Structure 1
Amino acid sequence: MNPETVNYLETVQQFLVTKGTEVGIALIKATLIWFVGKQIIKLINKAFAAIIQKNKVDLSLQLFLKSIVHNALTVLLIMTVLTTLGIEMTSFFALLGAAGLAVGMALQGSLSNFAGGVLILLLKPFRVGDSIEAKGVSGTVTEIQIFHTILKTGNMKTVIIPNGTLYNDVIINNSIENARKIEWLFNINYGDDIDLAKKIIQDIIYTDDRVLDRATPSIVVNSVSNSGISLKATGLVNNSILSAVEAEKVEEVKKAFDKNGIAQPSTHTNIHLYQQNV
């Protein structure tokens, strides 16, 4: 065997001994990191699942969050293993960042709706079954999904509102409190007896057991205009029977006014939130 071949073989042998040892140690380290990391991920996933269950996070959001955490930890573990093997990750990070920016710009609206959905499910400004008013629409919440919320209106229309715009808008939740105040406005003519009208309203509204603040009746002159005098009465009523009581009292007062010769040009009612648990 000629000297050049011998020198080449010795060089190869030296390289294999040196680099082979380094590669072997790196493989052992990477293998240990992988298996230990997998166990740590399992423990973190279990702890995270327990935390979100304890905080009663919505089930659909639980599944999504657990998937996000598991995938993020797995990607982090893979990157750690590759780095341990000596694979340069700088270019990968740059490529990943550029791809993320492009996707983010393309899906800007969807990401906004996604973020809104996560915040709604986490912070719970309303829940399924609540009656809410938002974006000029009022109805009962039937579904809260990641990207949009579905309402059913009083006339049985289905309204789908993107979560991004919904969360960033004013939301009136009519179901948080157990009771709300109804505001009745009864109009009478100038020539009608105000005291008689007030007595009729009081006898009809504040003798009803469903009016929770009946012990403290409130009937006042709300306004005076060219069309007559407006009398305002308020009553605290449970949400479950709100509409029924509201309509019944309007009808009863109207009939009583007719019997007593009191004209009623027009009648209005408003419902206001009232912070009281009953």
Structure 2
Amino acid sequence: MPNYFNTKKVVLTAVLFTIVLSTSYAQLSPPGLGKGKTASWFAFGVKQALDTVHKKESTTYIGIGRKSSPDDTNPFNKMGILVLNQEFSNHYTKHWQYSYAISYRRSDLYESAAPYEHADPAIEQEFRLYGRYTYLTEIGAVKWKNTFRQEYRKFFNPDFTKSGEDYQFRTRLKTQVNIDLGTEKLHHIIGSAEALFAISKENRPINEWTKFSYKESRFGVYYQLTPHEIPFTFDFGYMYNLIGKNKKTGVNYLAIDVVWNNPFGKTL
């Protein structure tokens, strides 16, 4: 990668940990797309309040991720993933929130050697269940969220036969800061840092459990626009995905998402 990306990684990490050192304020964060150089993510979501005080919410979204080959930097080169996600959340006290969700993901798989054609099988399907528990605090224009998220991931080949990895339990720890820019709460800067750990039950190369271990980290910076005139939230961001423990690989993501707020009124 150009030195620009290495510099950006260092600056990004410094900014995140200087600010404070979750769940999203509204953004629909990119999923990991595996090894590569660059990637892109676009998502459209619908967020609907389920009660009159907006403590209970439903968030539904569809997202598409694309990525480069290992030898180029085009983030739109190859199809990466299709995501369908449904989440319910309850901000039941001032500082605490829980969420639970179900997700379907369809990922394209590629050979590790040039010309990086689709592998055999070319597609891996995933059904995911997850729960999330969040502590929230607010100091003036700064909102801070710390989240513990536990996932169960079940994998299938395109014909729903067993894939090489049968299923996985993954633990995610995330800290996130949202800063309001100005008094009108139109513009926001969001910074986040997340670490992921997992243990898997594998079918191939042999039937066994892997060790529970660190897998990757994700660092993000977003600009968020929440105009008062229309019921939409717009997010434009960058994520750096650092994969691996010893032989680390970094992937640079460009991300855009749009969330339609309360299309069925203030509450269902």
Computing the radius of gyration from Cα coordinates, the structure with the larger value is 1
Q: TM-score, normalised by structure 2?
A: 0.19
Q: Which has the higher contact order (CA 8 A, sep 6+)?
A: 2
